[in-house]
Amino acid sequence: MDMLLAAIPQILQPHMLITIFAGVAAGLLIGSLPGLTATMALAVLLPFTFGMDALQGLAALGAIYMGTIYGGAFTAILINTPGTPSSIATTFDGYPMAKQGRALEAISAATIASVIGGIIGVTALLVLAPPLARLAVAFGPAEMFWVAVLGLTLIASLSSDSLLKGALGGCIGLILGTIGVSPVGGETRFTFGIPAMQGGVSLIVALIGLFVIPEILSMAARGRAALSAPSDMSLERFNFLPVLRKVISKPVNIIRSCVIGQVVAIIPGAGGNITSLIAYNESRRASKEPESYGKGNVDGLVASESSNNVMVAGSMIPLLTLGIPGAPPDAVILGVLMLHGLRPGIELFTESGVLTNGFILSMGLAALMMLPVGLLGGRLVYRSILKTPHYFLIPTILIVTILGTYALRNNVTDVLIMLGMGVAGYFLRIIGIYAAPIVLGLILGTIAEQGYTQTILGGMADAVPQLRLLDNVLSQILFALVLLALLSALLPRLLSRKQGITGSGPTPPGNE
């Protein structure tokens, strides 16, 4: 507590405030560009922190991280493109809202949710770090396998109009995930003799291809931009307070999403890519009006954005206590800690406690600063997208997309894969196979494969190595959750089919 108090004056100095503000703004800008991830933002901006002392450098990186994850929401809402993988679920309701002329409402709600999520994450980091860290190491290969399978069951609920099409999408994703060097064993698979294919299909490349390209193709096909100016509410008269009231009037939704965000964040490897999807799904399941999700329900948006911003500070728990990066961007933060001679572990909270508390508090400050930065920036971006005619907007988005994809790994093959997947994604969308299940299959297929093979390898000396998949309580609980998720997704469907009720399922999220 003393250290917490000692840290407060340190981070309230003017140069710290400016650093955090600049970090949030820079992160926001980078996060809103498809292809530029939080990991890359941190790596690129890292050299700027070399001239700073440890606290200022860490504060800058924490602020950038926070801003990037939040910035992904902008493009998710305005052009149906998750700027980072963690905002996939934000597109489901954010984009329909924007199309209904409620873009500013969506941006404001996303901002409020992000700020709340960010602050809850920071609080958890301050208060619960040591006990929660134990949970992080409990997830071994077998548990990761079940986590991935549990994630795959989301496909059933993300594709409520046709389970078959959803499953088909998931399978496409699983197959795409096998391209490249296998995670265990090191064989190259499905590279067709092309060296560049050894890198496989990167998640971000798939994300951009499957979300952005179909969107701009249909924009071009319609011959007009997707967003129209709000008819009933002019920009100048947009009122922030009703949105705030609307968001905080449903505290259960926010708390549930934050808890999910926190738990998933500390599982190494799963990270923010799926937190928002799980939180979105649970929010819909708990809602009294699940059919309105995917059509512009602000609760879905809030669930996604609050959970993914919890993750920023949440994933620091295993990092700071045990040196385990909870999400890929944390690896960069770990590098910086080591550069400053700070070893993750209990000393970070004792000997260098003032510094660590300062770093954590600075992330809380960064979360608060998202409010003004985001509301102002959001308005600017929205206005410029609205005022740009579609014949400028489409090529601009296309060029930014191609540049972003190339910048990801400086690889032309990635650009070709992205464009190819985009065109394929456009036609798949027409026949009812949406991007979300494909991306989910791609994310989770690798995790499941790795968890399974590692588990079996670990049981090489046993008679039946497969039993290792269920040899402890945590994996048994996860297995039960998988069964539960499957039942709750499939039973209503089977029952309604028996009774001959049609059209009772909720509509697929994120798409027309």
Contact positions toward another protein, by CB under 8 A?
39-40, 42-44, 46-47, 50, 136-141, 180-186, 188, 191, 193-196, 198-200, 202, 268-269, 318, 322-325, 328-329, 331-332, 334-335, 338-339, 341, 343-346, 409-411, 450, 454, 457-458, 460-461
- How many Cβ atoms are within 10 Å of 442's Cβ, its own excluded? 27
Strands (DSSP E) found in 40-102: none
Smaller CB distance to another protein: residue 39 or 90? 39
Which residues on neighbouring strands pair with residue 180, listed in sequence order? 189
What residues contact 511, with CB distance under 8 A and at least 6 apart? Answer: 294, 429, 434
Residue 262: closest CA among 151, 107, 129, 143:
129
Residue 472: closest CA among 134, 142, 150:
142
Smaller CB distance to another protein: residue 252 or 461? 461
Q: How far is the CB of 433 from another protein (least distance, A)?
A: 27
Give the separation between CA 62 and CA 56, rounded to whole angstroms: 10
Q: How far is the CB of 181 from another protein (least distance, A)?
A: 5
**What's the token pair of residue 368?**
């608060």
Q: Give just the sign of the alpha carbon dihedral 459, 462, 467, 471.
A: negative
Give the separation between CA 37 and CA 464, rounded to whole angstroms: 42
Smaller CB distance to another protein: residue 182 or 507? 182
**What's the token pair of residue 408?**
């990801």
The 10 Å CB-count burial string (b at 16+, else e) for 278-298 is bbbbbbbeebeebebbbbbbb
* 102 backbone dihedrals φ, ψ, rounded to 5°: -110, 35
What residues contact 477, with CB distance under 8 A and at least 6 apart? Answer: none
**What's the token pair of residue 50?**
């070399």
Give the separation between CA 332 and CA 336, rounded to whole angstroms: 6
Q: How far is the CB of 70 from another protein (least distance, A)?
A: 20
Smaller CB distance to another protein: residue 203 or 361? 203
Q: How far is the CB of 46 from another protein (least distance, A)?
A: 6
Q: How far is the CB of 450 from another protein (least distance, A)?
A: 7
Which residues on neighbouring strands pair with residue 188, listed in sequence order? 181
**What's the token pair of residue 449?**
């494969």
Q: How far is the CB of 197 from another protein (least distance, A)?
A: 8
Q: Are 363 and 66 in contact (CB under 8 A)?
A: yes
Distance of CA 141 to the CA centre of its chain: 22
Smaller CB distance to another protein: residue 247 or 324? 324
Q: Give just the sign of the alpha carbon dihedral 439, 444, 449, 450.
A: positive
Q: How far is the CB of 352 from another protein (least distance, A)?
A: 15
Q: How far is the CB of 37 from another protein (least distance, A)?
A: 9
Residue reference for tokens 């009772």: 504
Smaller CB distance to another protein: residue 101 or 335? 335
Q: How far is the CB of 491 from another protein (least distance, A)?
A: 35
Smaller CB distance to another protein: residue 141 or 170? 141
Looking at this protein, which amino acid is placed at residue 242? P
What residues contact 142, with CB distance under 8 A and at least 6 apart? Answer: 451, 455, 468, 469, 470, 471, 472, 475
Give the separation between CA 95 and CA 79, rounded to whole angstroms: 7
Q: Are 204 and 82 in contact (CB under 8 A)?
A: no
Smaller CB distance to another protein: residue 252 or 464? 464
Smaller CB distance to another protein: residue 50 or 494? 50
Query: What is the full DSSP assignment across 29-78?
Result: HHHTSTT--HHHHHHHHGGGGTTS-HHHHHHHHHHHHHHHHHHHHHHHHH
Smaller CB distance to another protein: residue 159 or 262? 262
Q: How far is the CB of 198 from another protein (least distance, A)?
A: 3
Q: How far is the CB of 344 from another protein (least distance, A)?
A: 7
Q: How far is the CB of 441 from another protein (least distance, A)?
A: 18
Smaller CB distance to another protein: residue 272 or 344? 344
Smaller CB distance to another protein: residue 181 or 220? 181
**What's the token pair of residue 6?**
């000692």
3-class state of residue 342 by DSSP: coil
Smaller CB distance to another protein: residue 56 or 292? 56
3-class state of residue 346 by DSSP: helix
Q: How far is the CB of 468 from another protein (least distance, A)?
A: 10
